[in-house]
Each structure stands twice: as structure tokens, then as C-alpha cells.
A and B are shown apart, each in its own frame.
Chain A
């Protein structure tokens, strides 16, 4: 055994831990021959002795007696509290369920309220013609509408109806426009030639055009060669001088 190997087993040797008999014998033999390793062994043995003295000194130490009483008391109070604590946890489920049902009910009511005016308005949507008919008696109108209009004339003033009908008539185009805008994906505007902000000071116009897909290549976009001849949509920013200043591709 050499010193390095001895160093790896010296602590186990000093602590009298279980180890292979051969290794133990070799280590002891080495310590007889090597003064440095013998000193190391003595150091380790001394340390072990000191640690064992400390361990033996503390062997009898334990937690104060009153601690057990406190813990048992806590255990009893906990045991008493368990059923009490269990009850709220069950009722909590009910509370959550009731809250969820209330939420659903409120959502349903809110949805119904939002739907009802629309339905009413949708039902009244064909009414502009009769209203216009009332204002212009020369125009032809369906008989039932005429009858309803006459009845309304008697029962209610016409003005509020007009106010409510007009937005309904405008709403579908607005919605379509919004959908049209939001459904499109566009690239940023890319300058064509030497576009500077100053060149657009006088205003400009965006013109929607269709280009060959191959035009994308000029701007560095990847092009599927199978669809090379297809068209793509693009917005061209045209200056007041009629020159194209920038372009963006739209999908």
C-alpha cells in the first residue's frame, strides 16, 4: 500500500469501521513503515476519540419533558379540530358549486339580454321600408307591414323606431369590414426605390393590386415554385406624383 491509498482509508481505520481485513492489515503495515502516515493515523484516532467523547457527553441529552405535554396537547386539539375543519372543506365544495351555477346563470342572463335587443332589432330590420313608406305614401309596401305601421302610428310615435332602425341597417357592412381587416395578414411596407418620409408629406394613396407570386422573389420572400404563376394581393403606396413608393404583401 502506498501513502495515497493509505490516505483514502485512514479515516475508516481510525474510526474502526468495518473494512476488508486485507486492506486493514496492509494499511497498518504501511503505517508501521511510513512515519507520515503513522502521524496521520494518530491524528485521525485522536479526532475520533474527541468526537466520541462529545457524542457520549451528549448521549443523555433530550428534549425537555414539557415538550411532550405540549405536543400531545396540540395533537388532541388537532384531533378535535379535524371534524370541524372537515366540515368547511365539504361546504367549500358546495360554495364553489353554487358560485359556479350563479356564474353560469348570470352569464346566461347577460347573453340573453345582449341577444334580445339584437333579435328585436333584427325583427325590425325590414321595417325601414314601411317607415319610409309612411313618409312617402307613393311607394308600394306589403300589406301586413302597412297594417303594422298603421297600428304603430296609433300606439307609438315613429321617431324612436327610426333611431333604432338606422344603426341596425348600418351594422352588417361595418362588421364585414372589420372581419375583412382583421382576417388579413400583411407584411410591413417595403420601400420601392428611394422612398423618404419627406416624399410622403403631401399624402399618398394605398392601392390594392394583384401581382404574380414571382414578384415576391424580388423582396426576398420564399416562393413555392409550384404556385409560381399564381397571383398574390399587395398594397401599393402611391405618392401624389403617381409613383409607387412602397409595397406590402397581403394574405
Chain B
């Protein structure tokens, strides 16, 4: 199995489809974490993330031959499959929480950095938890670009491949998503002013 570490994802996939178990193990070892994290960051549920990871690799075993290297990498393909499964699960479990600009789901807000770094006063754990909740409260189409571009550090090009849209769409959605996140993380008293500012900018670039 050692020599398989040198093989590309495409080669491993082909070997796996030919019945090579080691190739599957290697491919799983290489890609499971990003798939799992994507599902977890999108859903906020470890059980959904586990199920989605399993379904993604089962799909790869069954229908891995639909992968077309000309259309993107294996990693992007797996994340695309994971995205479909996550959205389906969220739809089924009614976990989609629509966001309105003047509504905060969890009631938690972060201080604006403009207020001289109140964020820095928060503990690291609090910051992470607050940002996590803010990300989860985004509408799915904005959440997925934040998860991919910001949390998974996927390039715009690959994100566009995963989402099946243009790079420009990814950019504009990310811009809008960041504006929404900022609006959610502002203190309540500044919310009105800040929201109007973020909405203005969002209208320009969404």
C-alpha cells in the first residue's frame, strides 16, 4: 500500500473501480477529512457529517465511473457529491434556517472590530463558537461558499466546479455572505446602522 501513496487521486479511483481495496483505503484516508468537515460545517451535526461521508464514499464505489477528470479534481467531485447529500439531508430534517437581515437565530453577537477589537476580548473558544453559529445561520447558498472558500480554503475555481456555477457567482456570493456574517456579528445596538451599510454593499455586489 506504500507505493499507492504516490499515486494521484485519479489513479487511485481507477484502481478502486477495478476492485483494488487498498486504493479505496488510500483515497479514503486522503479525502475523508475534507468531506467530513464540509458536511459538519454545513450541517453542524456530527451524525449528518458521518452519514454524508459514508454516503459519499459508497457513491464513489457504486458510481465512481461517472467522474470526469476533464471537469475537475476528485476532491472537488467528492465535495460536490457531499454537497448534494448535505442539502438533501438538511431539507429532509428541516434544518435549513432562513436568514433575514434583521433576524439573529441564536441571539449571540460579536463586537465589531471597529469597536477597537472587542473580539479580542472574547476567549478563543467563544469566538469560534460564535462564528460557527453565525456561519450555520447563513442561507445554504451563502453558507456553502463560506465553508468552501473560507473554512476549507478551496480556490474560487474549484468552488465554482463544486457548486456548478461561474467564478463570478462564487465571488459575489462570498461577498454577500461576508456582509451577512458581519451583520450577524455586530452588537445589537449597532445592528440597524450596520445592517443598512451591509445591505447597501450587498446590493452592489450580490
Chain A contact residues: over half helix, strand or loop, or mixed? Answer: helix
Is the beta-carbon distance between B151 and A58 smaller than 8 angstroms? yes
**0 or 1 for each of A42-57: is its CB under 8 Å from B? (1 = yes):** 1111111111111101
Q: Which residues of B contact A64 (CB under 8 A)?
A: 50
Given A53-B128, A70-B54, A11 and B119 touching (CB < 8 A)?
Answer: no
A76 at the interface (CB under 8 A from B): yes
Is the beta-carbon distance between B181 and A47 smaller than 8 angstroms? yes
State A75–B25 Cα separation when bound (angstroms): 10
B175 at the interface (CB under 8 A from A): yes
A residues 24-70 in Cβ contact with B at 8 Å: 39, 42-55, 57-59, 61-64, 67-68, 70
Q: Which of B31-39, B69-77, B83-91, B94-102 contacts A (4 or more CB under 8 A)?
A: B31-39
B residues 24-54 in Cβ contact with A at 8 Å: 24-25, 28-29, 32-33, 35-37, 40-41, 49-50, 53-54
State A57–B125 Cα separation when bound (angstroms): 9
Given contacts A43-B114, A58-B40, A67-B32, 13 further A-B contacts (CB under 8 A): A11-B178, A43-B182, A46-B117, A54-B131, A61-B37, A63-B35, A63-B36, A63-B50, A67-B50, A67-B53, A71-B28, A76-B21, A78-B61
Which residues of A come within 8 Å of B, CB atoms?
4, 7-8, 11, 15, 39, 42-55, 57-59, 61-64, 67-68, 70-72, 74-76, 78-79, 82
Is the beta-carbon distance between A62 and B54 smaller than 8 angstroms? no
Provide 6 A-B residue pairs closer than 8 Å at the C-beta atoms, listed in order of the A residue: A42-B114, A50-B127, A50-B185, A63-B53, A74-B58, A82-B19
State A39–B131 Cα separation when bound (angstroms): 19
State A78–B130 Cα separation when bound (angstroms): 43
Is the beta-carbon distance between A11 and B58 smaller than 8 angstroms? no
Which residues of B come within 8 Å of A, CB atoms?
16, 19, 21, 24-25, 28-29, 32-33, 35-37, 40-41, 49-50, 53-54, 57-58, 61-62, 110, 112-114, 117, 119, 124, 127-128, 130-132, 135, 146, 150-153, 174-175, 178, 181-182, 185, 201, 204-205
State A4–B203 Cα separation when bound (angstroms): 12
